[in-house]
A = this chain, B = another copy of it.
């Protein structure tokens, strides 16, 4: 089968790879319906995080169960399923606390940009849709594997909710879906920080009430202007740089909450500044598994259309162009047809 492999900075190749097989009784093998390129993939793609050996790429997936191991009870061949980028047993104390991406037995899923994929801990990881979905729902269902679940976690961790003023830092796919999530949670005012017209437009479609184009100190000042000098109740950091972290923290009112879901690399924070902000912080890899049933329901019933973040669809064979387009910010998010 064909699959992508990252060889080094800016070097993604589509090559023939071995078809995965059941390795443990808890595994499942999926025929991948669609995969995509994640913003977090851009760290190794850009050489910011090292690539020590050729790496099968992709961790967002949905597809049809082809085969299950002997211990798998909750999904069966022929079902359409979605899972998280971290496989989880969904029974350990961390899973039961709702933090499946900190499962004590978690395993990273890798190599999803391919025709077939092995998913460990299938019972704790995969959630089936009611039936095989119509083709037009596949992109939105695919987002639930990571990017929509991550936007939802950003809104949940920062307690976006009825009556709240929410600032979203970052206009990538996660930031845009964080806007959608905050709207679904009932936030009153949602300020999207974006300077790209096409992304601003999608942010508005998803529920943003205000757009702030400024960054840095000017961006913080604009948020303060919009909130009577106090700051937002919730700030959702969806990038992963020091600039975006500080932007979010400084945009939050004392007693407010800031979430950070962009994978951070080499970011250091000065604690005394945090201390005097009185801002709560919670971040981390989204516990996608916690949200899958509710989000599948919303997509299935066509209440939300998070698949709109895919503005570039390519066959798997053109994955390298999919990466380039996202790296150069020509595309918000690339869907790969397998």
Interface residues of A (CB under 8 A from B): 93-94, 97-99, 101-102, 104, 157, 228-230, 242, 245, 253-255, 260, 263-272, 274-285, 287
Q: Give this chain's copy count.
A: 2
Q: From B242, B278, B283, give the contact of A284 (CB < 8 A).
A: B278
Residue from A253, A265, A274, A287 having most chain B Cβ neighbours under 10 A: A274
New contact pairs (6) apart from A102-B255, A265-B272, A268-B268, CB-CB < 8 Å: A93-B253, A97-B255, A157-B280, A264-B272, A278-B282, A278-B287
Structural contact, B268 and A271, CB atoms closer than 8 A: yes
Once the chains are docked, how many angstroms separate the CA of A278 from the CA of B284? 5
Q: Contacts A255-B98, A270-B267, A270-B268: A275 and B281 contacting too (C-beta < 8 A)?
A: no
Structural contact, A285 and B281, CB atoms closer than 8 A: no
Structural contact, B285 and A255, CB atoms closer than 8 A: no
- The 9 closest A-B CB pairs, nearest first, are A102-B254, A267-B271, A99-B254, A97-B255, A264-B271, A280-B282, A278-B284, A99-B255, A94-B254
Q: Contacts A228-B93, A253-B97: A272 and B280 contacting too (C-beta < 8 A)?
A: no
**In the assembled complex, how far is the CB of residue A257 from the closest CB belonging to chain B, in whole angstroms?**
9
B-side contacts of A102, CB under 8 Å? 254-255, 276, 278
B-side contacts of A94, CB under 8 Å? 230, 253-255, 278
Q: Contacts A230-B93, A230-B94, A255-B99: A275 and B284 contacting too (C-beta < 8 A)?
A: yes
**In the assembled complex, how far is the CB of residue A294 from the closest CB belonging to chain B, in whole angstroms?**
18
Structural contact, A267 and B272, CB atoms closer than 8 A: yes
Structural contact, A281 and B278, CB atoms closer than 8 A: no
Structural contact, B280 and A285, CB atoms closer than 8 A: no
Residue from A97, A276, A278 having most chain B Cβ neighbours under 10 A: A278
B-side contacts of A253, CB under 8 Å? 93-94, 97
B-side contacts of A287, CB under 8 Å? 278
Structural contact, B278 and A280, CB atoms closer than 8 A: no
Q: From B99, B242, B276, B283, give the contact of A285 (CB < 8 A).
A: B276
Once the chains are docked, how many angstroms separate the CA of A263 from the CA of B260? 24
